Amino acid sequence: MTDLFENPVGLNGFEFIEFSAPERGLLEPVFETMGFERVASHRSKDVDLWRQGGINIITNYEPRSAAWYFAREHGPSACGMGFRVRDAKKAYDYLLQQGAEPIQVETGAMELHIPGIRGIGNSIIYLVDRYDEGGNELSIYDIDFEYLPGVERHPEGCGFKLIDHLTHNVYGGRMAYWAGYYEKLFNFREIKYFDIKGEYTGLTSQALTAPDGKIRIPLNEEGKSGGGQIEEFLRQYNGEGIQHIALICDDLVACWDRLKAKGVPFMTAPPGSYYDMLDGRLPGHGEPIEELRTRGILLDGTTEGNEPRLLLQIFAEPQIGPVFFEFIQRKGDYKDGFGEGNFKALFESIERDQVNRGVLEAEGAK
């Protein structure tokens, strides 16, 4: 894929998302129900590799590591992410020149040194230049990890292929700071801006894309009224951080069926009127409405020129603290949408969940 604009760091997509928790047994069932399999363990650290398609998830329990301390503060959480770069040393040197905060990454004997910088909420962004793009290239896992005996190294799982995007929840007034962080360091650019009003609360979202077009990060900030889902996340998480990770597939209806069979809990579906209005909102979309309705799958995009360019999406309930997963499918080369047409429906479904849990008080109950 050709870069969209100048790519000074040499970004080339997500390599992994790193998770940690105060103890084992909290993360693993969540990944298993989503179709991930543990395929390898680190040679010297208490670290495992989970995989599905081209998606890599790292679980890190190494005592007194950055991940270990992160989990003590935030509980079960996403504590880091790996960005693919063409040359890790050059990328690291450039980022430090731009003002990035360096991170001391402990490296054992005969292990790769993977440089990192400080990211959202004291997480780490790792710079990885050893990765497999499908040509059996030597990756960090081939060097630093040992694959489990007889394991399928690239399990199909529930059918998800890649990380499409992930979001950050930030404190009020901090969106400009984090947008500037990604713009100055990596030359990200804004592609979408939303101001969402729910029934009780609101939020503002600014979506950024990297020069490679493969790393996309929407930033979410609580609306002026306060008391909503972003504020709840920040309170429960003890700070800013990764709110959700979106996984992409080729057939969301089929993937939903596999997820449901494995026991993934989904967020509350929108009301039936949402599906009754789909044909009017997206005329000629061509999707089976009843199949979407029975599964609670949301639909967004455009059908201008009788050429449907669509996004199908659904969200799991938070199971890693307040962090949750999104499952999506893109059709007709619809690359830049994040379901903004669905944001209100999603926002209100999360509000309904908050009302059910007693976090929000419904207007009629006041």
How many Cα neighbours within 13 Å face the side chain of 135?
4
| 11-147 placed in CATH 3.10.180.10 | yes
Sign of CA dihedral 261, 262, 268, 273: negative
Sign of CA dihedral 162, 133, 53, 49: negative
Residue type, 243: Q
- Under DSSP, the state recorded for 269 is P
Please tell me the predicted confidence (pLDDT) of residue 162. Answer: 97
For residue 106, say whether it is annotated as part of any ligand binding site: no
Interatomic CA distance for residues 341 and 348, integer angstroms: 13
Digits of tens for pLDDT over the chain (366 positions)? 688 899 999 999 999 999 999 999 999 999 999 999 999 999 999 999 999 999 999 999 999 999 999 999 999 999 999 999 999 999 999 999 999 999 988 777 778 999 999 999 999 999 999 998 877 789 999 999 999 999 999 999 999 999 999 999 999 999 999 999 999 999 999 987 776 655 555 778 899 999 999 999 999 998 877 778 899 999 999 999 999 999 999 999 999 999 999 999 999 888 888 888 889 889 999 999 999 999 999 999 888 888 899 999 999 999 999 999 999 999 986 666 666 667 666 666 566 667 777 877 765 444
Give me the CATH code for the 160-357 domain, please.
3.10.180.10
Beta-bridge partners for 346: none
How many Cα neighbours within 13 Å face the side chain of 344?
8
Instruction: Note the pTM of the prediction, 2 decimals.
Output: 0.91
Residues of the chain with CATH 3.10.180.10: 11-147, 160-357
Six-digit token pair at 23?
A: 């103890």
Please tell me the predicted confidence (pLDDT) of residue 193. Answer: 74
Interatomic CA distance for residues 241 and 322, integer angstroms: 10
Cα torsion at 228, 229, 235, 236 (round to 10°)? 150
Do 302 and 222 touch, CB atoms closer than 8 A? Answer: no
User: b/e for 125-159, b at 16 or more Cβ within 10 A?
Assistant: bbbbbbbbeeeeeebbbeebbeeeeeeeeebebbb
Please tell me the predicted confidence (pLDDT) of residue 364. Answer: 45
For residue 326, say whether it is annotated as part of any ligand binding site: yes
For residue 165, say whether it is annotated as part of any ligand binding site: yes
Three-class secondary structure of residue 220 per DSSP: strand
